Amino acid sequence: MGLTMDLGDAAFGKRITVLGSTGSVGCSTLDLVARARDSIGVEAFPIEALTAHSNVAELISQARTFKPQLAVIGEPALLDDLREGLAGTGIKAAGGPSALIEAAQRPADWVMAAIVGAAGLAPTYAAIERGAQVALANKECLVCAGELVMALARRSGATLLPADSEHNAIFQVLEQANRDAIEKIILTASGGPFLNMSLDDMAHVTPAQAVAHPNWSMGEKISVDSATMMNKGLEVIEAHYLFGFGADEIEVLIHPQSVVHSMVAYRDGSVLAQLGSPDMRTPIAHTLAWPGRMDAPSERLDLAERGALTFESPDETRFPALRLARNSLQIGRGAPTILNAANEAAVTAFLGGRIGFLDIPRVVEGALDRMNNGRGVADLNALEDVFALDSQAREQAKQLMSA
Ligand code: NAD
Ligand code: MG
């Protein structure tokens, strides 16, 4: 990196909003912004809005540093604290679910959608609705409402930029002009902390063990999803909606080093891959500077020092979440929405010590069974339909967990 950070023409001066700014992806995004501002000045990335759920202290500190027009706390009871913390700064403070949507509606060129779970759907949807560039980390919104979200993006002309590392890799190596010459896409998976653990041992793992990911530092929910491999299942569904491939054209490959982030296989036998060290600032920078490139501080890949890169097939007996997600995608209808909601409920219960690790896929499968895999669900024509199905699935999961 030279004395001045190079943002490329496309990134410089982009007005941005970060939904979920206090989370792992949100902080990585603001790290890139801070470096650009240190090097170039505040005009590098003016900030429209920052949002958080309940970490009001961190949100206040971020707002004081980055000076957005608006700071939103999702938990309405914390709005007074936010107001007090921002008194005299001229930054507008707001709270509650409707304020999250307002944040997304404000005129930013680029919005990072990094709220975790279906809670991110409504604000992400609002950003897409006004035709913004939307960097999508919040995969759950595509899993629970993929058709609605993609149809909205087509109507509004929004640009969806995949920020999830695997999907960003595919986005980088997928030749749009040769779309018909693609045989399959290959999503790599680290395998998580329990890759080689027996089912007997997995039955007793603690939340602390499950969130200790070997390669990536991430929020708790996605870390547990990585340990069950539900994360990869959700990503298969995410890839389907983003890139239009069927379940049988999306392969999952275990790659414990997390260096090859994903691949696209073409008809002539070529396989194109994107590589990098496991640091979300690389895919985030790609979406921020798109269609250009910008400097990012991620550790440079030293393949000689890394030595071997290894690959193996996933074991769907020990990691049934992968099979459940693939089945849900094949069934379609309401199945992915139910899968996602039941998983969110089960992961929350696991993190709270109320169910065991292996109960997570059991609860998801049980909720899918009880709801006939969403086969009878009428079309999900509006967000309200998604939210209704999502709450039914959470209720079924709750009943299963208290039985
Ligand atoms: P995190 O838990 O670290 O952060 C979540 C953010 O969302 C926080 O800012 C939190 O305040 C906010 N939030 C949580 N619940 C909310 C609610 N009900 N209403 C409003 N805001 C709420 O999560 P993360 O690891 O940063 O992941 C965010 C999203 O990005 C997830 O969908 C995850 O799957 C995806 N993702 C994360 C990574 C990663 O490396 N962390 C990689 C790829 C994709
Ligand atoms: Mg990923």
**What pLDDT score was predicted for residue 98?**
98
Between 3.90.226.10, 3.30.365.10, 1.10.1740.10, 2.20.25.90, what CATH number should domain 332-403 receive? 1.10.1740.10
Going by C-beta distance under 8 Å and a sequence separation of 6 or more, which residues neighbour residue 278?
165, 190, 215, 216, 258, 259
Q: CB atoms < 10 A from the CB of 395, how many? A: 15
16-162 maps to CATH 3.90.420.10: no
pLDDT of residue 56: 98
Ligand nearest, relative to CA of residue 166: 2
Identity at 217, one-letter amino acid code: S
The SS3 call for residue 317 is coil
Quick one: pLDDT at residue 242? 98
Q: Which atom of ligand 1 is nearest to the CA of 139?
A: 32
Q: Which residues pair with 182 in a beta bridge?
A: 266
Any residues with CB less than 8 A from the CB of 354 and at least 6 apart, and which?
401
Give bridge partners of residue 51 from the DSSP assignment. Answer: 19, 72
Task: Tell me if 213 CB under 6 Å of ligand 1.
Answer: no
pLDDT in tens, 235-280: 999 999 999 999 999 999 999 999 999 999 999 999 999 999 999 9
DSSP class of residue 50 equals: E
The pLDDT, as a whole number, for residue 289 is 96
Q: How confident is the model at residue 281 (pLDDT cuts 50, 70, 90)?
A: very high
Angle ∠(383,385,388) on CA atoms, nearest 5? 110
Average pLDDT over all residues of the chain: 97
Choosing from 18, 24, 217, 286 the residue with most ligand 1 atoms within 8 A of its CB, the one to mutate for a pocket test is: 24
Q: How far is CA 102 from CA 108, 125, 214, in A?
A: 12, 11, 37
Atom of ligand 1 nearest to the CA of 25: 26
Q: The tokens of 144 are what?
A: 């629970």
- Sequence ranges of the domains in the chain: 16-162, 166-278+303-315, 332-403
The amino acid present at 222, given as its one-letter code, is: I
Please tell me the distance from the alpha carbon of residue 190 to that of residue 207, in angstroms, as a whole number.
19
Residue with tokens 């999502």: 390
Tens-place pLDDT, residues 5-39: 899 888 889 999 999 999 999 999 999 999 999 99
**280 C-beta closer than 6 A to ligand 1:** yes
Q: Is 104 close to ligand 1, i.e. is its CB under 6 Å away?
A: no
Check: CB of residue 369 under 8 Å from CB of residue 361.
Answer: no
List pLDDT tens digits, range 45-73: 999 999 999 999 999 999 999 999 999 99
pLDDT at position 65 is 98
- Rg value, the chain, Cα: 21
Longest dimension (CA), the chain: 63
Q: Report percent pLDDT > 70 for the chain.
A: 99
The closest of 106, 80, 79 to 95, measured between CA atoms, is 79
pLDDT tens string 210-223: 999 888 889 999 99
Ligand 2 is a single-atom ion; what residues have CB below 5 A from it?
164-166
Q: For ligand 1, say whether the CB of 218 is within 6 Å of any of its atoms.
A: yes
Between helices 383-402 and 335-351, what is the axis angle to 10°? 50
Q: Say which residues have a Cβ less than 8 Å from residue 58's Cβ, sequence separation at least 6.
A: 22, 52
Distance 226 CA to ligand 2 centre (A): 9
Q: Classify strands 250-254 and 182-189 as parallel, antiparallel or unpaired.
A: parallel
52 Cβ closer than 6 Å to some ligand 1 atom: yes
pLDDT of 1 reads: 46
Give residue 403's pLDDT: 82
pLDDT for 89 equals 98
Residue 334 has pLDDT above 90, yes or no: yes
Q: Is residue 222 lining ligand 1, measured as CB closer than 6 Å?
A: yes
Q: Is 23 in the pocket of ligand 1 (CB under 6 A)?
A: yes
Q: So what's the pLDDT on residue 216? A: 84
Confidence of residue 3 (pLDDT cuts 50, 70, 90): low
Bond prior to 291 in cis (omega within 30° of 0): yes
Q: Examine the pLDDT at 378 and tell me if it is beyond 60.
A: yes
- Over residues 343-350, mean pLDDT: 98
Nearest CA owner, ligand 1 atom 40: 218
- CB burial readout 345-377, b (16+ within 10 A) else e: bbbbbbbeeebebbbbbebbbbbbebbebbeeb
Helix (H) / strand (E) element for 189: namely strand 182-189
